Chains A and B, each alone.
Chain A
Amino acid sequence: MSYSYYPGCSLKGSSNAYEESLLAVFETLGVGLDELDDWNCCGATAYAAVDQMKAFAMAARNLALAEETAEGTGPVDLVAPCAGCYMTLLKTQRYLNKHRSVADTIEGALEAGGLHYDGRVRVRHPLDVLVNDVGLERVADAVSRPLHGLRVACYYGCLLVRPFATFDDPHNPTTLDRLMEALGAEPIDWPLKTRCCGGSCCGGPLVGTIREAGLRLISVLLREARRRDADILVTACPLCQFNLECFQDRVGQEFGEPVELTVGFFTQILGLALGLDERRLGIQRMLRWRLPELTSADGGGVHAYA
């Protein structure tokens, strides 16, 4: 089993722990990820605020490259772990399929660059691949250190399931919860699974004028997860992870009450359950990583993930 892999800019920067843990986990499960050669920025959501058609062209170059490098004439799976890239690539593909005016312009532009796109790419998220291609049974079989007793707030964020609900429900997604259950962990029941963290376009707390609004959104999520006794909040998006982890001090200052919570990537938690070394999962890169001691199911002692 092998897939074309589109990392995106964040996984090569502030979210390198996501890439490290993703590659380690997929390798352990026997799934190959081949990085797309010379991929460019997907255009993210910010490009759409300046020029939508050029934003489509940015994303389309990647789709064309993925098709070009694939063998055969069948569908080409392109795995995009960043929820922003995932949505942007998906959106471009939908518009190319649905709107003649977009397709004509992009076709001409790609041609000018010596590229061609047939529409054969299937944009996939690693969570989708794990649940639907690898299968949760196989994942559960590979678990060597079950995470019994670990209370996990599964946070899907916005763009993973909206506006295109490709592999999960847009209002109450469950794939991440089911994955965590397969690892022996306990996903908490909470209503904020897909509530925006504020990191996507308002630049989160980076942006002065709406800093207060950004911090409020972070605060709401962290507090609710804590209130329901979550040990960790897991995400499938580099922007959510960064936003929810890095501004906890600031949220404390703004709203007067400190709120601390470990915020990790779902691939890191999966890697721990698969028995992988913390350093392969980029855990030393996290600003905060404090998990309770967990008892193994077989009663064979205690292991700490602290």
Chain B
Amino acid sequence: MRPRARFGEGGCAEHAHEQLVEGVTLVKRRSGTPVGFAEEIAAIPGGERLRECIQCGACSAVCPLSAYMDYTPRRLIAMTQAEMKDEVLGSFSIWVCAGCYACTAACPKEIPITDMMYALKRTAIREGVHPRRFGTPVLAREFVGSVDRWGRNSESRLAINLYLKTHPRLLLQDYPLAERLRRRGRMRLRRESIRQRAQLRTILRAVETGPDRAPETGGGPTVGAGETR
């Protein structure tokens, strides 16, 4: 039996983690050791609030998609704080999240939960641990590749690309819908672009070489983020 957390003592949070994830080996850190997963995620702007989580579950209750998640948002926060990096980044939940901010609005401790989900997505994409052919990361990569290059998103082209790279079979299934939209002038294959593409490229490159490129404050290098070079 592990000692229960006592208030007013250092290490309270750590004891809490032990209770939450009993049976899982904890990575204990002292100052001076390399930055861990929890700290990396908490490094997003406003992310220090993550440590304030009281595990009330308001986020999970209000989440319209938690029924489809392997770990609810509340559990993901606890697991992140407990350094369960592999489980968190490998979870289905972070890709099911639709980014609707219901959890953020409901959180009594004002934790930027949705932004944390984005940080987890970025880390998973960067480390290449997201499930293959899963729509959301493919969408994100294709989308970024296109807007980096052209400055605008060409919806129809993105949709077709997404189908081809995830579930080509569905392209046939959804073709009648595409045709109905096309007949109504809602689907155009024309490439949308801005004029000052070079300026945009310069701006984005300056971010990459900018002063603040710690992995999670900036989002890290966009490896595989797909501008076709």
Write the chain A residue with the least CB distance to B101. Answer: A162
A-side contacts of B166, CB under 8 Å: 207-209
Binds B, one of A111-119, A125-133, A179-187, A296-304: A111-119
> How extensive is the interface on chain A, given as a class?
35 or more
A-side contacts of B95, CB under 8 Å: 202, 209-210
Contact assessment for A46 and B143 in the assembled complex, using a CB-CB cutoff below 8 Å: yes
Q: Can you list 23 A-B contacts with CB-CB less than 8 angstroms, sorted by A residue number?
A: A16-B185, A40-B151, A45-B99, A51-B122, A51-B207, A52-B44, A52-B119, A53-B219, A54-B144, A61-B199, A98-B45, A101-B45, A113-B199, A113-B206, A163-B104, A170-B105, A171-B105, A196-B65, A199-B98, A202-B95, A206-B162, A285-B185, A285-B186
A-side contacts of B153, CB under 8 Å: 9, 41, 44
Chain A nearest CB from B128 CB (Å) reads: 13
Interchain CA distance A17-B200 in the complex, whole Å? 29
A-side contacts of B143, CB under 8 Å: 44, 46-47
A residues with CB within 8 A of B: 9-10, 12-17, 38-41, 43-55, 57-58, 61, 95, 98-99, 101-102, 104-106, 108-115, 158-159, 162-163, 170-171, 194-196, 198-203, 206-210, 212-213, 217, 246, 249, 284-287
B-side contacts of A194, CB under 8 Å: 102
Contact assessment for B207 and A53 in the assembled complex, using a CB-CB cutoff below 8 Å: yes
Contact assessment for B121 and A202 in the assembled complex, using a CB-CB cutoff below 8 Å: no
Interchain CA distance A170-B148 in the complex, whole Å? 32
A-side contacts of B122, CB under 8 Å: 48-52
Contact assessment for A203 and B135 in the assembled complex, using a CB-CB cutoff below 8 Å: yes
Interchain CA distance A58-B93 in the complex, whole Å? 27
Binds A, one of B11-19, B33-41, B209-217: B209-217
Interchain CA distance A61-B159 in the complex, whole Å? 25
Q: Given A13-B188, A54-B222, A104-B212, is A49 in contact with B155 using a C-beta cutoff of 8 Å?
A: no
B51 proximal to A (CB < 8 A): no
A-side contacts of B152, CB under 8 Å: 9, 12, 40-41
Contact assessment for A14 and B187 in the assembled complex, using a CB-CB cutoff below 8 Å: yes
B100 proximal to A (CB < 8 A): yes
A-side contacts of B97, CB under 8 Å: 201-202
Chain A nearest CB from B120 CB (Å) reads: 9
